[in-house]
Amino acid sequence: MKIAALLVLFVTRLTAVTSFAPALPLAVAVARSNSATHLMMAGFGGGGGNQKKKGAASLPKLKAKAQWDRYADLKQCSKVVVGVKLSGDGEGDWLEVGKVRSQNDEYTLIAIARQRALIADHAKRLYPVKIPANSVLTWGYKEDDSWVAVDKSVGDDESIPKGIEKKFGFEGISDKASGFYCYYNEGRIVERGEDRSVLTTGSKTLPN
């Protein structure tokens, strides 16, 4: 009787053990866990890879001195007054910053849009109180007695030929405090109207 009872107990336990799948080794369990984690994160950027977005081709950075020289070289072309105002300030005042010239007077809008960084920098230099360093600006030009805003995107058109910046220039209002866009005669700052034949266009701080 005792032997029969032990045999029945042994068979019962053996059946219970074999009814379950064998446990996975620890390394296999961890690997499967990591795979599941990556699959779950893929929809939130976890497994999306390092794909770079295609951006617009960067425009050449213009130098103040080079564009000032080009402005002077285009002396047969018309001068167009340019300025800025704070964006979103619909009734705000326009602030005159300088002038642009373009070859055959054909590229006024592009001249403003492409030189907007130079115009903005000089505007902040001329009007540090009215235009804080982090201001968002609108650019424009003066036509008769009215200001016309310019969409800066006109300068980013891919159809514009390379080297277009050589066909226009910018001259800012003379800023005696910094020396930018100032004319000199014998070491002193003079007004533009004074004996231009002996003047040298330059500034003690204007970049080359």
User: What whole-number distance in Å separates Cα of residue 95 and Cα of residue 188?
Assistant: 27
Query: Which H or E run includes 96?
Result: strand 95-102
CA distance 185 to 67: 21
Q: 């330059």: which residue's tokens?
A: 202
DSSP codes of every residue in 166-200: GGEEEEEPPBTTTTBT-EEETTEEE-TTS-GGG-E
Q: What is the pLDDT along the chain (208 residues), one digit of tens a residue?
A: 555 554 444 445 544 444 444 444 444 444 444 444 343 333 333 334 444 444 345 778 999 999 999 999 999 999 999 999 999 766 679 999 999 999 999 999 999 999 999 999 999 999 999 998 888 999 999 999 999 999 999 988 888 888 999 999 999 999 999 999 998 887 788 766 555 444 444 444 454 4
